[in-house]
Chain A
Amino acid sequence: MPWFISIFLLFLMYGLYGGLVLAPADYQQGESYRIIYIHVPAAWMSLFIYMVMAVNGAIGLIWRIKMAEVVAISSAPIGAMFTFLALVTGSIWGKPMWGTWWEWEARLTSELILLFLYLGVIALYNAIEDKRIASRAVAILLLVGVVNIPVIHYSVEWWNTLHQGPTVTKFDKPSIHISMLLPLLSMAVAFKFYFGLGLLVRARKELLHRERNTSWVRELLLDE
């Protein structure tokens, strides 16, 4: 655990220093563009975590593996958090650059739907007492919701959006300078480690709750 946290902090420190201090200002947006170093990694995480959940949901549905169910539901609050942060930091960035906090356009709306999907998953899980059944219901909802993921990703290409197009995830060379790209990627790695950390903490709690009546939990608790 300590080394895990150390790697997270290392990437975070470099990402923040490189992004806020070393990288030059943007030629169009000036210093305001520096919100990119949290906004874009948070948005990437919102999609990444959803896919992690959908895959684990499917594994739980097909092979009935308990651990996959636990991973799927334990990721949900972290995914919801990153989606929320992507929306909020985007809104704060949008105000000075677009002149509005919010616009009902494709990228923003589909990301908002993603937030509702996450909240729906959490609510559905909490509504069903039997957690094995709850996990199966959640997995089905997750798989249906996957349809939203390509919509979010391609929204800036399919529709004429206010949101700018992709700068990094393009097949040709990314249209971003290396001094801006490196801290951005570093922040993305840091957020991945944060997800690992948050998942560990939540999965532990979820497992303890689910297995509270088993002998191994009883032995574990009485041993101290």
Chain B
Amino acid sequence: MTYDYHEPETVAAALDLLARYGEDAHFVAGATAFTLLWRQGLLRPGHVIGLRRIAALGGITSAGGALAIGATVTHRAIERSAEVAGYCPALTRTFASVATVRVRNQATLGGNLAHADPAQDPPPMLIALGAEVVAKSAAGERTIPLDELFVDVFTTSLRADEILTSVRCPALAKGTRATYLKFLPRTADDYATVSVAATLRFAEDRRVAGVRVALGGCGPTPLRARSVEAALQGAWPDPRRIADAAARIDADIAPFDDVRGSAAYKRDMARVWTERALTELVS
């Protein structure tokens, strides 16, 4: 049992192959998730389209304070990038926290997002940064905000005729603080049981001018904690206020039981770690 492996050199050529083989085709970049699914017998495409050689899908650029990362850039390259560190050290730490150095050397940003496991590290941080994904099809290009990309477990809103080409992170307002906290009660190389990404900035009078909070491992997709945000927006974030805001996380998440914890445990931990993330950001 095998497949035809293609390595087109342009996005257009990749889209051509996709049009030709349709449902029988599957994209890979690093091929970590694909190799596992293939060997489990769960995926049986007749054609695998490797995106590694497409130069347009690589590269990390920063311009005007904004950051753009190509879909085939590896986690390790992002972890080591001076542009990413200059943009947001918490984003560097997020990518550095993924699995092991071997996985990070192989797995790519685009593959990570397309895989859509709700416990992955990059998505909540990218959501908290207000990032968007660029998707290209034969019909053109569109952008999808990260908090609209994930639809269900292992399911994105990418259409069957689209390639995820890059992620764009907007220029951050001056004084924006960011953090990513990963709660790992099992092993250090695991997915998070619960993770919290948050960005926050103060107004002149030290009220919260902007706050974004996103959680991983707390539902079928990474989730934006809008109730928590609403409770903090415009407020002076004293410890009581933060605790109160974190307690509202219940309304925003829908965790389920799995090997990393029961739904009830994850609810508890979501509140605890949201409070820790917010406390860290205001200190």
Physical interaction between A and B: no
Residues of chain A having any CB pair with chain B under 8 Å: none
